[in-house]
Structure 1
């Protein structure tokens, strides 16, 4: 019986300690403004409505992004070093066989993905025009 009292007593102490520690840690949290809380719990994605203009949804109020901006944000990681066979920036030997297939094929591969390249090179909000601008940038000095 003594052991049973000790076990019950231990559980009571653990529960009491957890309650005190939990209350103390909540009191120590920095107070956040309503705006900070809204920012913290904001959704991470947006819903596209069928029939909405894709170009307007992709470009927002700022308009289309430049090929340079798209390349530096989404393409640079693979195309600067030729990761997994990606054609390097302005490297004629890398781009020649691709361009020989025609720009329509190159753009289709960029949009749909090809081999190790994911669709749109991970720029899921890039319009087709922005994808073309990124390709044009990558081959601009050939």
Structure 2
């Protein structure tokens, strides 16, 4: 027979430890090497943000931080009833959160006695559960018109404020709102 021992035909891997090392070196290590090479090749020379569209890049760098809203100053002033319907009716029509209802003379009487300017100040700056109405959809003058409408519906005798140009009398002096009670 042959002089070659049978152990020579068994191969280089003789233990489970050698098998594990061979699997790691033959399969797992090359996979990680390929992943690393792909990441290296694709990471270089990427165009910077907005390089394809320089105008977009500039717009993104100088984007606005705040917002300025320019309103049409030439639009006609809304009446007190329009302001009431648009801003005040949600609470003052139903009495929500303790708001005095439109036309409720008993609830409005102590408020009317404080005077028109106090009522307007309370409306603009807020009072109790009522949030400040200043700076919203309606101008301060329109809010004052809404206050006059609400108070007059409950027995007040306030004049609805006029537009600033129309508020001056013939002698150039501003006309004052009268308060009655």
- Classify the TM-score, shorter chain: 0.5 to 0.7
Equivalence for 1:82? 95
2:145 is the counterpart of 1:133: yes
For residues 125 and 80 of structure 1, the distance between their equivalents in structure 2, rounded to whole angstroms, comes to 19
Aligned to 2:162: none
Measured on the aligned residues, the alpha-carbon RMSD in Å equals 2.3
Structure 1 gaps of 5+ residues are 1-44, 50-56
Query: Which residue in the other structure is 1:65 paired with?
Result: 78
TM-score in terms of structure 1 length = 0.55
**Greater gyration radius:** 2
- Which structure dedicates a bigger proportion of its chain to helix? 1
State the aligned residue count.
89
TM-score normalised by the chain length of structure 2: 0.44
Hey, what does 1:47 align to over in structure 2?
68
Deviation at 1:110, TM superposition (A): 0.1
In the TM superposition, what whole-angstrom CA distance separates every residue of 1:12-55 from its partner, at most 9, and x where no partner exists? Answer: xxxxxxxxxxxxxxxxxxxxxxxxxxxxxxxxx95147xxxxxx
Task: Tell whether the 8 Å contact from 2:123 to 2:132 is kept in structure 1 after alignment.
Answer: yes
**4+ aligned runs moved over 3 Å, structure 1:** none
* Unpaired stretches in structure 2, ≥5 consecutive residues: 1-65, 156-181
